[in-house]
């Protein structure tokens, strides 16, 4: 979807997993933040060279795994992609991510998702 190189802050939509983390919420939060940081760097590696503003990963949390992905519209610059994803993380962290087993945030400019189950095929 073409965003003409601009971040569209007016078109965000989120869906949150209704289940909360039942134990060790602080460890869950820290692992999620670490995985988000790793994927943010991966999705924003010089996108002009690779034409691929996308990153996927996973991390172990006790007996479970957390799966996540981030993606930006290809017409965003590397910096624009970083700003868009960082904006989602900052805006949605305290309410939609906190203690939730999963969340999906979609926009015309960038998107992210995490869950405690695999949601992508490799």
Least confident range of 8-12, 27-31, 36-40, 92-96:
92-96
Q: What is the bridge-based pairing of β-strands 103-107 and 64-72?
A: unpaired
CA distance 29 to 6: 30
CA distance 47 to 76: 9
Cα–Cα distances in angstroms (integers) from residue 115 to residues 7, 15, 78, 79, 103, in the given order: 25, 11, 26, 26, 7
Q: What is the pLDDT of residue 56?
A: 96
Q: How far apart are the first and last CA of the chain?
A: 23
pTM confidence score = 0.87
Q: Quick one: 21-115 is in which CATH superfamily?
A: Gnk2 domain, C-X8-C-X2-C motif (3.30.430.20)
Binning pLDDT at 50, 70 and 90, where does residue 6 land? confident
């Amino acid at each position: 979807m073409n965003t003409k190189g601009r971040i569209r802050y007016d078109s965000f939509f989120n869906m949150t997993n209704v289940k909360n983390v039942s134990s060790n919420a602080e460890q869950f939060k820290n692992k999620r933040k670490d995985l988000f940081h790793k994927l943010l760097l991966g999705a924003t590696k010089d996108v002009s060279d690779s034409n691929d503003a996308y990153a996927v990963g996973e991390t172990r949390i006790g007996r479970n795994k957390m799966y996540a992905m981030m993606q930006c519209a290809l017409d965003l610059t590397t910096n624009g992609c970083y700003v868009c994803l960082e904006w989602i993380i900052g805006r949605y962290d305290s309410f939609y991510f906190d203690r939730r087993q999963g969340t999906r945030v979609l926009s015309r400019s960038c998107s992210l998702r995490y869950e405690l189950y695999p949601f992508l095929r490799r």
